[in-house]
Structure 1
Amino acid sequence: MPCGTILLINAWGLHRDPKLWDDAESFKPERFENNGESTESYKLIPFGLGRRSCPGMDLAQRVVGLALGSLIQCFEWERIGEEEVDMAEGKGLTMPKSMPLEAMCKKKAIMNVFLSETVDDCL
């Protein structure tokens, strides 16, 4: 490649390439279990590559798991209706869902104890 060439990575295409993935169009998070020791983990590039990759990548990789774990641990989640959650992708750069997820949540009973202790410690 000539010096100064700008190379754009088609992450969307790579993440759906049937030559790279078994059942490329299916959502299978178990592909990436074992903290990246899986044979397929190197194929996932959600934050881009090179000098133009996302500057918040390291922070996001650490914080997203913590935030998701806190939501699961602290709240009880329920679907609003009986129908299955629609996982179809909509159009857009960030791959939004075609139908937004609607769910009900309420804090777990143990959170009352935790939050009251936290408030008392601050006073």
Structure 2
Amino acid sequence: MAEEWDITRKTVGTVSIWLGTAALFVPRALPRLLGLDEEATRTDVALPLLVRLIAARNIAMGAALLVTPAPQARRTTEVTLLLTALDAAAVLVARGGGDVARRSAGLSLAVLSTSAAGAVRWHRR
């Protein structure tokens, strides 16, 4: 179980850092790729700041997962999965209001499901 946990910790940490880094450097392109309205990604002045704030959080959480020894990283992994689930839920709510594309909502639902399943699985152990 310890080896499986270590693999999960490193995978979640690495993915968080890569996604955060991408969002940090292309804060308008990444939301567009995820289905945000193209016009909004070009004209919304707050979008780059918000995306970069989320990117910084992802990078910090990913780094925390990678540098924390496996036995102590459990809580950090649970928090990371919870934050991911909350992000995905926010996108789904925005989809309900017609603010994001269907593919973005679908991707968010997949992320939400995976995060929820991961959190439940690791919480039970």
Greater RCO structure (CA 8 Å; 6+ sep): 2
- The TM-score bracket by the shorter chain reads under 0.3
Larger Rg: 1
TM-score scaled by length of structure 2 = 0.24
TM-score scaled by length of structure 1 = 0.24
Question: Which one has a larger percent strand, Structure 1 or Structure 2?
Answer: 1
Question: Which one has a larger percent helix, Structure 1 or Structure 2?
Answer: 2
